[in-house]
């Protein structure tokens, strides 16, 4: 079963340069994180990632652009619900394409200190903090990802030790072989998915910002609250039931 290392551009990601390849079966880099170590397997980047920063893939390496990750994101409910920033986009792509047992994030904390470097290469734009209807609660978007991954038998964990906006359990590399998917409240998760379907905030093209005025922030906030609640373990005595826990397909 596959263990995926998902590398972002946080300042701490340089620690991963010294890590042995084991226990990771696949390494997925986001944007500039391909520069952290040369043995990455997949690089995920958006349409506006500069061409001169895109490496030439070596044997066994692949570049993943919007032609691959937009359809994947749509099958997981679309960008409005999943969150329009690359840490989430790359994770959903890995979840479907690689079918892993574990996705371990590192350097994806979306925490930007007021002083010192914000990225491993120095100062950069805090993309997840921009004013965006899909990113009103980074914690909720990470909760949604964790729950939907767990429903597929995949554990989302965070190898970082510093401040983070992710709600994933913290773990060390040594614990990856034995970690299990997060326990969650499937009843609340199903309510959240039903609410997503009722709202119908699907943009199959992925260019949700072009119609952002059609989304109600209050309803997004209410949905985010449901996902944060769903990420909590179920009440004692209630058995989790994951059958049918899939996002609605986007409308054509």
Percentage of the chain surpassing pLDDT 90? 79
Query: How far apart, in Å, are the Cα atoms of 38 and each of 4, 159, 177?
Result: 16, 20, 23
Torsion of CA 115, 141, 83, 148, to 10 degrees: 140
Q: In what order do the strands lie in the sheet with 155-158?
A: 62-64, 42-44, 26-30, 3-7, 102-106, 155-158
Higher per-residue pLDDT: 249 or 106: 106
pTM over 0.85: yes
Rounded to 5°, the CA angle 105-106-108 comes to 80
Give per-residue pLDDT as tens, 55-106: 999 999 999 999 999 999 999 999 999 999 999 999 999 999 999 999 999 9
Average pLDDT of every residue of the chain: 91
For residue 76, with 0-12 CB atoms within 10 Å meaning exposed, 13-18 middle and 19 or more buried, which class applies? Answer: buried
Give per-residue pLDDT as tens, 116-164: 787 877 777 767 778 888 999 999 999 999 999 999 999 999 999 999 9
**Domain boundaries along the sequence of the chain:** 3-230
**Phi, psi torsion values for 102, nearest 5 degrees:** -140, 135
Query: How far apart, in Å, are the Cα atoms of 154 and each of 39, 48, 179?
Result: 23, 30, 10
pLDDT at 246: 73
Percentage of the chain surpassing pLDDT 70? 94
The whole-angstrom distance between residue 221's C-alpha and the CA centroid of its chain comes to 19
């Amino acid at each position: 079963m596959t263990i995926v290392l998902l590398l972002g551009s946080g300042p701490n990601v340089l620690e991963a340069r010294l890590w042995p390849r084991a226990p990771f079966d696949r390494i997925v880099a986001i944007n500039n994180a391909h520069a952290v170590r040369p043995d990455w397997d997949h690089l995920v980047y958006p349409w506006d990632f500069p061409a001169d920063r895109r490496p030439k893939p070596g044997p066994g390496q692949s570049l993943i652009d919007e032609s691959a990750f937009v359809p994947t994101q749509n099958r997981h409910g679309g960008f409005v619900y999943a969150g329009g920033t690359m840490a989430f986009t790359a994770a959903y792509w890995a979840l479907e394409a690689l079918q892993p047992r574990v996705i371990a994030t590192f350097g994806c904390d979306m925490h930007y200190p007021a002083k010192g470097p914000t990225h491993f290469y120095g100062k950069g734009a805090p993309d997840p903090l921009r004013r965006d209807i899909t990113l009103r609660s980074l914690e909720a978007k990470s909760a949604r990802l964790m729950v939907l991954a767990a429903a597929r038998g995949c554990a989302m964990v965070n190898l970082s030790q510093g401040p983070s906006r992710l709600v994933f359990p913290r773990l060390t590399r040594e614990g990856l072989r034995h970690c299990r998917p997060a326990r969650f409240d499937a009843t609340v998760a199903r309510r959240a998915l039903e609410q997503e379907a009722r709202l119908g905030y699907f943009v199959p093209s992925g260019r949700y910002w072009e119609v952002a005025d059609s989304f109600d922030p209050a309803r997004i906030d209410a949905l985010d609250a449901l996902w944060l609640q769903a990420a909590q373990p179920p009440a004692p005595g209630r058995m989790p039931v994951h059958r049918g826990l899939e996002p609605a397909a986007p409308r054509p």
